[in-house]
Structure 1
Amino acid sequence: MARKFWQWKWKYSGWKNSAFVRFLLFFVLGVFFYVTLAGNIIIETYDLEAGAVSDRTIRATKEIPDEAATVKAQEQAVRQVEDVYTTLNPDSLELADTILAKLEQINGDTQFSTSEKVDIYKGFFEQMHVETLDKLLDKAGTNERLSAEVEKRLNEQKYRIPEEIYFKFPRLSLSAIQEMRGVARDIVSRLTTDKMRDTSTARGKVPELVNASSLSSANARELVQEIIRFSVLPNQFYDEAATLKAREDARNAVDPIFIRVGDIIVKENERITDEAYDKLAQMGLLKDRVSYWPELGLILLVSLFVFVIYLFTRRSRLPIKQNNAQLLMLALIFVINLLLMKIVSLGQGLDYPYIGYLAPVALGSMLIAILLDDALAFLSSVLFSIMASLIFNTQPGQLLFDYQFGFVALTVCIASVFAIQKASQRSTILRAGLLVSVFSALSLASIILLSGQSEYVMSSIIFALLSGLVTAVLVIGLLPFFEVSFGILSSLKLVELSSPNHPLLRKLLTETPGTYHHSVMVGNLSEAAAEAIGANGLLCRVGSFYHDVGKTKRPSYFIENQGNRENPHDHMEPALSASIIHAHARDGVELLKEYKLPKQLQDIAEQHHGTTLLKFFYHKAVKLAELEGADAAEVKESDYRYPGPKAQTKEAAVVGIADCVEAAVRSLRNPTIEQIDIMVDKIIKDRLEDDQFNECDLTIKELHTVGRSLKESLLGIFHSRIEYPELPKPNKEGG
Structure 2
Amino acid sequence: MPDKTKISTLRRSKPQKRGERETFHGSRHSRKKSRWFGPNVQKWVILIGLSIIISIVLFPNVLTRPKIYKLGDVADRDIKASRELLIENNELTEKSRQEAIKEVLPVYDFDPTGTNIQTRIGDAFSAGRKYLAEVPSVTDSPEKLQKDQSANAEAFKQGFFETLDISPDEKIISFLIKKGFPREVEETIIDLVTQVQKKGVVINKAILERQSGMGIFLHNIHTGQELKVTDLNRFYDMKVARKIINGQIKALEKSFSSSRLAEVAVKLSVALIKPNLTFNKRETELRKDLARKSVKPFYFKVKKGEMLVREGERIQVEHLLRLSEENKSLKQKEIIGRAPAMAILIAYLLATIYMVGLLTDGSSRAEAKGLLFNAVTLLAVFLVVVLFNFMAEEVARGFRFFSPRTILFAAPVASGAMLVAVFQGMRLTASFSIIISVLAAFVVGGDAEFFLYFFVSSLIAGYGVRHCRDRGVFIKTGLKVSLTNMILTLAMEALHGSLYSPETLIACGAAFIGGILVGVLATGLLPLFEMSFGFTTDIKLLELANLDQPVLRELMVQCPGTYHHSVYHDIGKIRKPLYFVENQRANQNRHEKLAPSMSSLILISHIKDGVELAQKHKLGRDIIDIIRQHHGTSLIAFFYEKAKEQRKKKVRKFLQIKEEDFRYPGPKPQTKEAGLIMLADAVEAASRTLVDPAASRVQGLVQKIINRAFSDGQLDECELTLKDLHEIAKSFNQTLGGIFHHRVEYPKPVTDGKHMRRRETDANGRTAWLSKQGDNGNTDQLPGGDSRPNKPEDKTEAGESLKRLGLS
Query: TM-score interval w.r.t. the shorter chain?
Result: 0.5 to 0.7
List per-residue Cα deviations over 1:493-550 (Å, max 9, x = no partner).
222222212111122233323312211xxxxxxxxxxxxxxxxxxxxxxxxx211112
**Aligned-residue offset at 1:263:** 2.2
Question: 2:387 maps to which residue?
Answer: 343
Question: 1:375 maps to which residue?
Answer: 427
Q: 1:19 aligns with which of 33, 40, 64?
A: 40
User: What is the root-mean-square deviation in Å for CA atoms of aligned residues?
Assistant: 4.5
Q: 2:477 aligns with which of 429, 432, 436?
A: 432
The residue correspondences of 1:575-594 to structure 2 (distance < 5 A) are 575=596, 576-594=598-616
Question: 1:466 maps to which residue?
Answer: 513
Contact kept in structure 2, 1:65 and 1:258, CA below 8 Å: yes
Structure 1: state its 5+ residue gaps.
Answer: 69-256, 394-400, 520-544, 731-735
Structure 2: state its 5+ residue gaps.
Answer: 1-25, 90-300, 397-401, 751-808
The residue correspondences of 1:76-475 to structure 2 (distance < 5 A) are 261-264=305-308, 269-272=315-318, 298-299=342-343, 301-313=345-357, 316-319=360-363, 323-350=367-394, 351=396, 352=402, 353=404, 354-393=406-445, 401-450=446-495, 451-453=497-499, 454-475=501-522
List per-residue Cα deviations over 1:129-179 (Å, max 9, x = no partner).
xxxxxxxxxxxxxxxxxxxxxxxxxxxxxxxxxxxxxxxxxxxxxxxxxxx
Structure of higher RCO (CA pairs closer than 8 Å, 6+ residues apart): 1
The alpha-carbon distance between structure 1 residues 63 and 588, as it changes in their structure 2 partners (threshold 3 A), is closer
In structure 1, the residue corresponding to 2:564 is in which secondary structure?
helix
Contact kept in structure 2, 1:365 and 1:381, CA below 8 Å: yes
The 2-side partners of 1:355 and 1:511 are apart by 59
TM-score (norm 1): 0.58
Question: 1:499 maps to which residue?
Answer: 546
Give me the identity figure in percent.
27
Contact kept in structure 2, 1:36 and 1:338, CA below 8 Å: no
The 2-side partners of 1:570 and 1:9 are apart by 40
The alpha-carbon distance between structure 1 residues 561 and 40, as it changes in their structure 2 partners (threshold 3 A), is same
List per-residue Cα deviations over 1:209-261 (Å, max 9, x = no partner).
xxxxxxxxxxxxxxxxxxxxxxxxxxxxxxxxxxxxxxxxxxxxxxxx99783
The alignment of Structure 1 onto Structure 2 pairs a total of residues equal to 497
Contact kept in structure 1, 2:570 and 2:627, CA below 8 Å: yes
User: Which amino acid in 2 is paired with 1:668?
Assistant: L
Name the larger-Rg structure.
Answer: 2
The 2-side partners of 1:593 and 1:567 are apart by 32
User: Which amino acid in 1 is paired with 2:686?
Assistant: A
The alpha-carbon distance between structure 1 residues 549 and 317, as it changes in their structure 2 partners (threshold 3 A), is same
Contact kept in structure 1, 2:350 and 2:435, CA below 8 Å: no
**Aligned-residue offset at 1:624:** 4.8
Question: 1:657 maps to which residue?
Answer: 679
**Aligned-residue offset at 1:335:** 0.9
- Is the counterpart of residue 713 in structure 1 residue 760 in structure 2? no
- Is the counterpart of residue 35 in structure 1 residue 82 in structure 2? no
User: Which amino acid in 1 is paired with 2:594?
Assistant: E
The alpha-carbon distance between structure 1 residues 610 and 437, as it changes in their structure 2 partners (threshold 3 A), is same
Question: 2:535 maps to which residue?
Answer: 488
- Is the counterpart of residue 616 in structure 1 residue 635 in structure 2? no
In structure 2, the residue corresponding to 1:546 is in which secondary structure?
coil
In structure 2, the residue corresponding to 1:345 is in which secondary structure?
helix
Point out the more displaced range, 355-364 or 312-321: 312-321
The 1-side partners of 2:437 and 2:444 are apart by 10
- Is the counterpart of residue 606 in structure 1 residue 632 in structure 2? no
**Aligned-residue offset at 1:321:** 7.7
User: Which amino acid in 2 is paired with 1:392?
Assistant: V
List per-residue Cα deviations over 1:435-478 (Å, max 9, x = no partner).
22222223223333553331323332222222233222222222
**Aligned-residue offset at 1:418:** 0.6
The 2-side partners of 1:8 and 1:617 are apart by 35
- Is the counterpart of residue 566 in structure 1 residue 587 in structure 2? yes
The 1-side partners of 2:532 and 2:621 are apart by 12
List per-residue Cα deviations over 1:108-143 (Å, max 9, x = no partner).
xxxxxxxxxxxxxxxxxxxxxxxxxxxxxxxxxxxx
Q: 1:668 aligns with which of 669, 690, 710?
A: 690
TM-score (norm 2): 0.53
The 2-side partners of 1:573 and 1:321 are apart by 39
User: Which amino acid in 2 is paired with 1:27?
Assistant: I
Question: 1:175 maps to which residue?
Answer: none
List per-residue Cα deviations over 1:155-206 (Å, max 9, x = no partner).
xxxxxxxxxxxxxxxxxxxxxxxxxxxxxxxxxxxxxxxxxxxxxxxxxxxx
